[in-house]
């Protein structure tokens, strides 16, 4: 991966992560596709935004959008882990003021709302 690319990878698991059998997906972004990730220089400057983007993409990949005509049929708990305390605080407070984190947080919130998730 070059300096003008950043990768977002997620693994699902029910036990230890084994890249050979655990469900996963990867997304590679370039400066042309996600200029906000490169605005401050290298992508590690926007790591919290990228981690929250991975969470939003995971929500979109795993949970179907809710049908407003169908009542809630059940409840499923899903957990996610990151080493970033920033991302968990943004999700817990449902707000952020710094760019680009505020934009990614709004998209994550919109995806959660579209799926009637808490």
Q: Can you tell me the distance from the alpha carbon of 87 to that of 47, in angstroms, rounded to the nearest whole number?
A: 9
Domain span at 20 = 5-67+74-114
Beta bridge partners of 9: 26
Question: What number is the average pLDDT over the span 101-118?
Answer: 85
Contact present, 115 and 66 (Cβ < 8 Å): yes
Residue 71 has pLDDT above 70, yes or no: no
Q: Which helix (H) or strand (E) holds 73?
A: none
Q: Can you tell me the distance from the alpha carbon of 6 to that of 33, in angstroms, rounded to the nearest whole number?
A: 11
Contact present, 50 and 6 (Cβ < 8 Å): yes
pLDDT, tens only, 46-61: 888 888 888 888 888 7
| Number of structural domains found in the chain | 1
Question: What number is the average pLDDT over the span 78-98?
Answer: 71
């Amino acid at each position: 991966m070059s300096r003008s690319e950043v990768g977002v990878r997620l693994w699902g698991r029910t036990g230890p992560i084994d890249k050979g059998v655990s469900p996963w997906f990867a997304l590679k972004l370039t400066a042309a596709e996600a200029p906000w990730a490169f605005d401050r220089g290298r992508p590690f400057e926007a790591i919290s935004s990228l981690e929250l983007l991975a969470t939003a993409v995971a929500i979109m990949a795993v949970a179907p959008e809710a049908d407003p005509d169908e009542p809630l049929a059940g409840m499923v708990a899903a957990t996610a882990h990151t080493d970033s305390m920033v991302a968990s605080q943004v999700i817990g407070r449902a707000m952020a003021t710094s760019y680009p984190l505020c934009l990614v947080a709004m998209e994550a919130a919109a995806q959660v709302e579209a799926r009637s998730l808490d």
